[in-house]
Chains A and B, each alone.
Chain A
Amino acid sequence: MSDLAQRRDDVVTPTQDDETRKVRYRGGGFSPKPRAFIAPIVFLVLVVIWEIGSHFGLIPPIVLPSPSEVLQALKDLVQSGLLWKHLSASLYRLIIGFTCGTILGLAAGALIGLWSYPRAALRPLVAAIFPIPKIALLPLFIIWFGIGEGSKVATILFGSFFPTVIATYGGIDAVDRSLINMGQSFNLSRWSIIRKIIFPSALPAILNGMRISASISIILLVAAEMIGAEYGIGAYVLLAGNLMSTDQLIAGVILLSILGLVVSYLISLAEQYFLRWRK
């Protein structure tokens, strides 16, 4: 009893005259939060400044047409039915080239990632061809496949093939060995290990590669369409430039921006769906 009492006396209590302050919080910041309303405001403000500038002649129309003129050009494009013609020609090339390039790239990447001989044979080849800007091959493709659709699709195919190959075998190389060992220790077949362990492990890397190859594909699409194409967004932009009609030119550029955004949105959707286990 007296022991306890003794101890209570020893407890240190803050004395009144000491200054009491709360510990200052210093853990915040460095984590940008979504602010959804900012982006439309910035966009709108820029467009309004641009319109006003054009209206009062601060921006010469030959340098940059006003937003309303660009809008008018877009409207003309829709009303004349040319929009769909240009867009469908471009989408056709992009989809065929990108899809074939990606499928072939996945196959070649898997070969390199999984088997020794294809790896020894193909990896140096891929390493040698990958850094060539594929636009430089366009004249060659025109000689090989003709000025028509063939050369355009081939350029896009080539452009999306190599990043996919590299992303795929890179992803396979990085698969956690212990998971493969686990599969083997449970007697899973080789095919099961590839399908259920290796492929899902490599998928984040593969989707990342697709993001890169998609943007490369759009660049190559426009470049290819600037050489000998009747229809296509690239052809439209080139023609507008030749005619110095900057309103149409800007309209075409806006279409390209929308195309790029849509493609990257689709890939984000794929990521959200296939990688939902990550979070």
Chain B
Amino acid sequence: MDLEIRNLSHKYNDLEVLKSISLEIRSGQIVCIVGPSGCGKSTLLRMIGGLEQPTSGGVYQIGEPPADSLNPLTYIFQDFALLPWRTAWGNISLVLEEHNLGAEAVRERIENVLERTRLTEFANAYPRQLSGGMKQRVAIARALAVNPAVLLMDEPLSALDSQTRELLMDDFVALWQREAFTACYVTHNLAEAVALGHKIIVLSRRPGVIRNVVEIPVPIGERQHGSPELIEIQDQLWEMMREEALSADRELADV
């Protein structure tokens, strides 16, 4: 299943947030969205998953999601969004309870995703007993449990410290290599974008328009941390973001 965003614009009352956004997310591809703060990245992601309606234009699914996908468009949130009164296991079972899978199938699924996120030993821990990185891994396990066709991630690592972030990045890469998933990944962190993205969308400052699309030809599995090629792309992205930020400053100075 592919996703296509066609000529999407959005206004909050008089505040123009997004303007004529068109982009495609192909199956098996990770698309990263970067852009200055407040340019509408989170808003765009909420629209892609149907949590918010754009003023004009729309988001379209091309083709059927895989039959075994229980929730084709699945989010991983910045603040984890775990229920504090449920254990890791309970948080995952929450999203399976309505699908009439049968107790045995649910158990197998949960065990499988806990194993994939290396959380088997923490199945019975409550969120307060887990570190930030483990909480986000529970959230990832919960997302994987419903066999998503597209993962929608809004700065999933930005609430974590940099070491944990590195480890979870490796986890993402490993998960993707094990089974190529489709994802839309919003981030502030350009290193994350160049490590994970097949395609990086650079949004301008508000109102967000697509300023640039950078494709990275290196396969995700072969990307070396700090390789000259990636560094160059990262510098390129940084330059664009800097220009956006500077011209925003200049605009303010004019007022």
Taking beta carbons and an 8 Å cutoff, which residues of A are in contact with B?
Answer: 178-179, 181-182, 184-189, 192, 196-197, 200, 277-279
Given the complex of chains A and B, what is the CA–CA distance between A192 and B51 in angstroms?
A: 17
Taking beta carbons and an 8 Å cutoff, which residues of B are in contact with A?
Answer: 49, 51, 71, 73-75, 77, 79, 81, 83-86, 94-95, 97-98, 126, 128, 142, 146
Given the complex of chains A and B, what is the CA–CA distance between A189 and B71 in angstroms?
A: 13
Q: Which residues of A contact B71 (CB under 8 A)?
A: 185-187
Across the interface, A186 reaches (CB within 8 A) one of B84, B126, B146, namely B146
Given contacts A182-B75, A186-B74, A187-B71, whether A200 and B95 have CB atoms under 8 Å apart is no
Across the interface, A179 reaches (CB within 8 A) one of B49, B73, B83, B95, namely B83
B45 to chain A, nearest CB (A): 11
Q: Are A196 and B94 in contact (CB under 8 A)?
A: yes
B16 to chain A, nearest CB (A): 24
Given contacts A185-B74, A186-B74, whether A179 and B81 have CB atoms under 8 Å apart is yes
Q: Which residues of B contact A278 (CB under 8 A)?
A: 84
Given the complex of chains A and B, what is the CA–CA distance between A185 and B98 in angstroms?
A: 14
CB within 8 Å: A-B pair count: 45
Q: Which residues of A contact B97 (CB under 8 A)?
A: 192, 196
Across the interface, B85 reaches (CB within 8 A) one of A178, A187, A277, namely A277
Q: Whose C-beta in chain A lies nearest to the C-beta of B49?
A: A185
Given contacts A187-B71, A200-B85, A277-B126, whether A181 and B51 have CB atoms under 8 Å apart is yes
Q: Are B98 and A182 in contact (CB under 8 A)?
A: no
Q: List 21 A-B contacts (CB under 8 A).
A: A178-B77, A179-B81, A181-B51, A181-B77, A181-B81, A185-B49, A185-B74, A185-B75, A186-B74, A186-B94, A186-B95, A187-B98, A188-B95, A192-B97, A196-B94, A196-B97, A197-B83, A200-B85, A277-B86, A277-B128, A278-B84
Q: Whose C-beta in chain A lies nearest to the C-beta of B145?
A: A186
Q: Which residues of B contact A179 (CB under 8 A)?
A: 81, 83
Q: Whose C-beta in chain B lies nearest to the C-beta of A191?
A: B98
Given the complex of chains A and B, what is the CA–CA distance between A277 and B125 in angstroms?
A: 10
Given the complex of chains A and B, what is the CA–CA distance between A184 and B128 in angstroms?
A: 23
Q: Which residues of B contact A279 (CB under 8 A)?
A: 128
Given the complex of chains A and B, what is the CA–CA distance between A203 and B146 in angstroms?
A: 28
B170 to chain A, nearest CB (A): 25
Given the complex of chains A and B, what is the CA–CA distance between A196 and B74 in angstroms?
A: 19
Given the complex of chains A and B, what is the CA–CA distance between A277 and B82 in angstroms?
A: 13
Q: Are A182 and B85 in contact (CB under 8 A)?
A: no
Q: Are A200 and B83 in contact (CB under 8 A)?
A: yes
Given the complex of chains A and B, what is the CA–CA distance between A279 and B128 in angstroms?
A: 9
Q: Which residues of B contact A200 (CB under 8 A)?
A: 83, 85
